[in-house]
């Protein structure tokens, strides 16, 4: 009797697996009717990687790649659907898809983190500006979701892009795993492709994309909340300087200021200003000033909360009043260095105009600044 029950249980398990495979395969075929399938031995691919080769893996023609990009050179993708299968180990890695690629320093990206399987940060959406990633700026439930991965097996992934929104499907093609509420880059056509970090390699197969003008999205984004009153929504940002030039710099002089050029940068809807939108970094040229002019109707003290990535020096009316560092793993191996309103200073305002300068230095993972005054009674933040 027990043997019979065990055999029935095994048979039902096999049946359910087969049924699940049929459902996934049906959804897979349905979504690909109009797609451009591109085999990896096609000359439409432009591959720049430390390691890459086309070979048979898990019964399929596949692309093995480590530390690099594979780009469809003739794609003109603004909105549409991208699909592919990927196989990876449980080792630490960052493997995914990029779209609206302007060049290899500017694109939208979604990748999986196999080593975080089942955790809330098992994957990541972010945008790359000027060759700078931004996962320290864009984190949490709006940018990643918990997914448990199968290792060393084909995992199907689909990205549906429509205007300022997108949704990602991982293995389950009926229910989006993540709805991306606000794509960070401008809506502009570009190339599509695949990307693997310098850590663990990955295998890809069955890549296709379909350029649609307005693909339907199943998911719904949540309403974007307005930032609290007092949030700084506009900055003047300098050109890049060497961060080490500010060592032992306790007072800014006219000579320090006159060589700087300035560009206005609007904050995003959350109040975050992604400094990489304006500049990249090169070697020790890794720092910019983000400047505010504040008019006060009297002498008074005002509290301002702020966040930065990765390090900051704060100058108020030319005098250094604060320094801090949130560099990745600088406190312990679990410290991510994500940005938030975690720091604060109390500004001794004088009547009239006051200058607040944040010298923000980037290491890697995101270059940003955000700030919010506790209250704005008696002060006015100059609009740039």
Pairing mode, strands 300-309 and 368-373: antiparallel
CA-CA distance, 124 to 126, in Å (whole number)? 6
The tens digit of pLDDT for each residue in 121-135 reads 999 999 999 999 999
Q: What is the mean pLDDT of the chain?
A: 92
**116: three-class secondary structure by DSSP:** helix
| 234-381 CATH fold | Jelly Rolls (2.60.120)
Cα→Cα distances 134→21, 79, 362, Å? 36, 22, 11
The tens digit of pLDDT for each residue in 218-241 reads 988 778 888 889 999 999 999 999
Q: What is the mean pLDDT of residues 246-263?
A: 95
Q: Does residue 359 have a pLDDT over 60?
A: yes
DSSP per-residue letters across 218-287: SS-PPPPPPPPTTB--EEEEEPPEEGGGGTT--B--HHHHHT--EEEEE--TTS-EEGGGT---BTTEEE
Q: Does residue 383 have a pLDDT over 90?
A: no
- Of 368, 357, 352, the closest CA to residue 252 belongs to 357
Pairing mode, strands 80-87 and 155-162: antiparallel
Fold equal for 14-211 and 234-381: yes
Neighbours of 143 (CB within 10 A): 21
Neighbours of 374 (CB within 10 A): 14
Long-range own/partner contacts, residues 246-251 (CB < 8 A, 24 or more apart)? 246/287, 246/313, 246/359, 249/313, 249/320, 250/319, 250/320, 251/318, 251/319, 251/320
**pLDDT value at position 23?**
43
Q: Does residue 1 have a pLDDT over 80?
A: no
The tens digit of pLDDT for each residue in 160-180 reads 999 999 999 999 999 999 999
At residue 291, φ and ψ (nearest 5 deg) are -115, 140
User: Per the confidence metrics, is the pTM higher than 0.75?
Assistant: yes
What does the angle CA 350 – CA 355 – CA 358 come to, to the nearest 5 degrees? 130
Q: What is the mean pLDDT of residues 55-84?
A: 97
Per the CB < 8 A criterion, the answer to whether 166 and 215 are in contact is no
Q: Measure CA 152 to chain center.
A: 26
Domain ranges of the chain: 14-211, 234-381
The tens digit of pLDDT for each residue in 327-340 reads 999 999 889 999 99
Q: Which helix (H) or strand (E) holds 178?
A: strand 178-180
Q: Does residue 5 have a pLDDT over 50?
A: no
pLDDT band per the 50, 70, 90 thresholds, residue 147: very high
**pLDDT value at position 91?**
97
The tens digit of pLDDT for each residue in 15-66 reads 555 454 444 444 444 444 467 899 999 999 999 999 999 999 999 999 999 9
**pLDDT value at position 9?**
52
Pairing mode, strands 190-196 and 60-77: antiparallel
Q: What is the mean pLDDT of residues 86-100?
A: 97
**pLDDT value at position 11?**
54
| 14-211 CATH fold | Jelly Rolls (2.60.120)
Six-digit token string for 24:
């996934």
SS3 annotation, 333-355: CCCCCCCCCCEEEEEEECCEEEE
Q: How many residues does the chain have?
A: 384
**114: three-class secondary structure by DSSP:** helix
pLDDT band per the 50, 70, 90 thresholds, residue 214: confident
pLDDT band per the 50, 70, 90 thresholds, residue 384: confident
CA-CA distance, 204 to 169, in Å (whole number)? 16
Cα→Cα distances 163→72, 77, 123, 210, 290, Å? 21, 11, 22, 15, 30
């Amino acid at each position: 009797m027990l043997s019979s029950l065990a055999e029935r249980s095994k048979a039902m398990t096999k049946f359910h697996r087969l049924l699940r495979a049929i459902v996934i395969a049906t959804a897979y075929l349905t979504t690909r009717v109009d797609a451009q399938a591109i085999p990896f031995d096609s000359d439409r691919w432009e591959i720049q990687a430390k390691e890459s080769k086309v070979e048979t893996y898990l019964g399929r023609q596949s692309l093995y790649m480590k530390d690099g990009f594979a780009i469809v050179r003739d794609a003109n993708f603004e909105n549409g659907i991208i699909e592919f299968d990927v196989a990876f180990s449980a080792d630490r890695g960052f493997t995914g898809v990029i779209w609206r690629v302007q060049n290899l320093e500017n694109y939208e990206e979604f990748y999986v983190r196999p080593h975080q399987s089942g955790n809330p940060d098992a994957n990541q959406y972010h945008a790359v500006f000027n060759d700078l990633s931004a996962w320290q700026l864009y984190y949490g439930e709006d940018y990643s979701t918990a997914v448990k991965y199968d290792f060393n097996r084909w995992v199907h992934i689909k990205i549906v892009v429509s205007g300022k929104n997108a949704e990602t499907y991982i293995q389950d093609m009926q229910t989006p795993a993540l709805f991306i509420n606000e794509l960070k880059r401008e809506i502009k056509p570009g190339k599509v492709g695949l990307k693997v970090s310098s850590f663990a390699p990955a295998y890809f197969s069955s890549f296709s994309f379909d350029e649609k003008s307005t693909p339907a999205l199943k998911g719904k984004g949540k309403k974007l909340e307005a930032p609290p009153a007092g949030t700084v929504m506009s900055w003047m940002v300098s050109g890049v300087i060497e961060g080490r030039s500010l060592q032992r710099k306790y007072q800014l002089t006219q000579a320090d200021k006159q060589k700087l050029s300035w560009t206005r940068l609007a904050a995003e809807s959350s109040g975050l200003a992604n400094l990489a939108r304006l500049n990249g970094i090169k070697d020790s040229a890794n720092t910019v000033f983000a400047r505010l002019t504040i008019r006060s109707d009297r002498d008074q003290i005002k509290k301002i909360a702020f966040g930065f990535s990765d390090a900051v020096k704060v100058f108020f009316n030319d005098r250094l009043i604060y320094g801090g560092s949130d560099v990745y793993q600088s406190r312990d191996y679990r410290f991510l260095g994500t940005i938030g309103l975690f720091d604060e200073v109390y500004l001794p305002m004088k009547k009239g105009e006051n200058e607040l300068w944040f010298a923000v230095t980037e290491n890697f993972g995101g270059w940003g600044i955000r700030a919010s005054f506790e209250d704005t009674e008696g002060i006015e933040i100059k609009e740039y």
